[in-house]
Amino acid sequence: MNMDYKNLEELIEVIRRLRAPGGCPWDREQTHASLRPNMLEEAYEAVDAIDDNDMPHLKEELGDVLLQVLLHSQIAKEEGEFDIEDVAKELKDKLIHRHPHVFGTAHIDDPDEVLKTWDKLKAEEKTERKSAMDGLSRAQAALIAAQKISKRAVKTGFEWPDENSLYDCIMSEFEEFKQAKQEGDKAHMEDEFGDILFAVVNLARWNKIDAEQALLKANKKFEKRFRKMEELSVKPLNDYSLEEFDKLWRRAKEELANEKI
């Protein structure tokens, strides 16, 4: 394989220089912990570019994500832990091991079977994990975590017998929330509201819907309609009555629908 990674090699050297004595004061003072928010922010900005199907923006944001990977790797190298080459090798070895149908003799054509094989091989690698819940990230968004927890539980057979029973569960959680509210118990209300969200996430999983993506789309849709309301308003929104708000919302929704045509 003869491929030129000149720019990548030069980029690694740029990061080393930024962190070296006489380099950039800001880069030199960074740690794994201080860069944590940047990793999350850059990943979300890359996702925004994907959602917008904006390829020039995606190229830029992937570079920012790569910057975080290289900075963490350089810091680890300085501390004698690992470097970017170690990161690449571990990833390469993992991908080869978990794709025996590509790099080995196994024959798998079905994507679902690929995922089952991936999980099986991953379990063989992570022998220290005793519970189905071991290895879950504590830093990820709660909605994403709920989906992963639910999927792991289902793999052990812990599942609703049918979709109707799941609807019954969701409705019962709403009733329990109402009861907690009548009691005036804020802590109990918070617990029951969490149960509502977790049950709804399971409804999404049952129907093969990504709950995180569904909520992100709902957020984006609401924001777009609200901005259209502001654009269409003829007086401050605070002066609108509930009935006027409803009419303005409907008009905004209609105009945005027409814009898509």
At residue 189 the predicted structure's pLDDT band, cuts being 50, 70 and 90, is very high
Q: How far apart are CA 205 and CA 40, in angstroms?
A: 24
* CATH number 1.10.287.1080 given to 6-82: yes
Burial (Cβ within 10 Å: 0-12, 13-18, ≥19) of residue 68: middle
**CATH no., domain 142-209:** 1.10.287.1080
| DSSP letter string, 70-124 | HHHHHHHHHTTS--HHHHHHHHHHHHHHT-HHHHSS-----HHHHHHHHHHHHHH
Which residue stretches of the chain are H helix? 6-19, 25-28, 32-51, 55-78, 84-97, 100-103, 111-125, 142-155, 163-183, 186-206, 211-232, 242-259
In sequence order, which residues have a C-beta less than 8 Å from that of residue 140 and are 6 or more positions away? 148
pLDDT band, residue 133 (cuts 50/70/90)? low
Is residue 187 predicted with pLDDT exceeding 50? yes
Contacts 24+ apart (CB under 8 A), 157-160: 160/202, 160/206
Whole-Å CA distances, 85 to 8, 18, 77, 99: 12, 19, 10, 21
Q: Model-level pTM?
A: 0.62
Distance, in Å, from the CA atom of 126 to the CA atom of 134, rounded to the nearest integer, reads: 10
* 237-260 pLDDT per residue, tens: 999 999 999 999 999 999 998 875
* Structural contact between residues 159 and 143, judged by C-beta atoms closer than 8 angstroms: no
Q: Which residue has the higher pLDDT, 185 or 136?
A: 185
C-alpha R_g of the chain: 25
Q: Which residue type occupies 199?
A: A
Kindly report the backbone phi and psi dihedral angles of residue 119, in degrees, each rounded to the nearest multiple of 5, phi listed first. -65, -40
Same topology, domains 6-82 and 142-209? Answer is: yes
- Quick one: pLDDT at residue 30? 96
Going from N- to C-terminal start, the domains of the chain cover: 6-82, 142-209, 214-259
Angle between helices 211-232 and 186-206 (to 10 degrees): 110
Tokens describing residue 254: 């209609």
Least confident of 16-20, 77-81, 113-117: 113-117
Please, how many CA atoms are within 13 Å of residue 162, restricted to the half-sphere of its CB?
Answer: 1
Residue type at 224? K
Average pLDDT over residues 184-189: 94
- Mean predicted confidence (pLDDT) in 65-89: 97
CB proximity list for 16: less than 8 A, separation 6 or greater = 74
The pLDDT assigned to 98 comes to: 87
| Half-sphere exposure of residue 185: CA atoms within 13 angstroms, side-chain side | 12
Residues 6+ apart with CB under 8 A from 128: 134
